[in-house]
Structure 1
Amino acid sequence: MTTKLILTHDVAHLGEAGEVVEVKDGYARNYLVPRKLATPWTKGAQRQIDQMAEARRKRAIASLDQAQTARAWLADNVITVTASAGANGRLFGAVTTAVLADAVKEAGGPAIDRRKIEVIPPIKSTGRHSASVRLHTDVVAPLEVNVVAAR
């Protein structure tokens, strides 16, 4: 059986906030709804979503320009992150997306939602690494990260 839901937040590999999706009952009941990532679909909720989508379309042009500006900034700058590491350069833990988002903001860059940053493979050693940031549906920016051991 499947359930119709309205996403309240962006969900990777499923959709963006405001989209109506059909998912299996267990996924909806055990994951999406308890975490408040989605709400059940109703006709009244659909009308509200349509109004929000219209407002979002009006803002989309400005956000695309902002996303392209942010992509240019991220492509031109290398973000330095300090993390505790052992003698061989291996980190105690990993550099998280929240740490990367804070580092970009501290470096004078645009405010980035940590959920939009994708780090594959995880950053677990010092040195230069790369990640990507989905700033807009059409704009993906590269993010160069230099991890330095804390002394």
Structure 2
Amino acid sequence: MYEHFFHHTLDIARNQYDCIALNEFITDADDHFYRNLLLGVVERNTLFLSNDPSGNFVVQHVLKLHDLRCTFNVAAGLRGHCIDLSFKKYESYIVEKLLEVEESMAVPVLEFLECDGDRLMRLARNEFGNFVVFKAMKVTQEMSREINTICPFLS
């Protein structure tokens, strides 16, 4: 069964009903070797799956596992695409999940900082993007508070 899932992971992830089974299979897999193989397929195809109506649920699920290696690899796979993903309904959830984890939040935040003001303003006015921009502002504000708390003790 593991072999079947491994060889057809992308097809399974892109099917409306099979993606649910894949998520459960990833969560409940007893064999860590095959689980890591499945996660590797998802990590290497993050952008492709993120833009798929069913595949993005698999990427979201992988991010919910709180596996730092997976989260890092997903973030790396989405580098340079976070703004585009933020304009879309389900894809914006993936960017929000990246913002929730300290190890991956830098990818979307840096992308927002590097984009031109007009594009960021359009994103902030977008029905889905505004949630991402709000979350990015909230996360960076919390980090700034933490830094300000630590600064007096540095000397």
Tell me the TM-score normalized by structure 1: 0.20
Larger Rg: 1
Tell me the TM-score normalized by structure 2: 0.20
Q: Hey, which of these two has a bigger chunk of strand by percent? A: 1
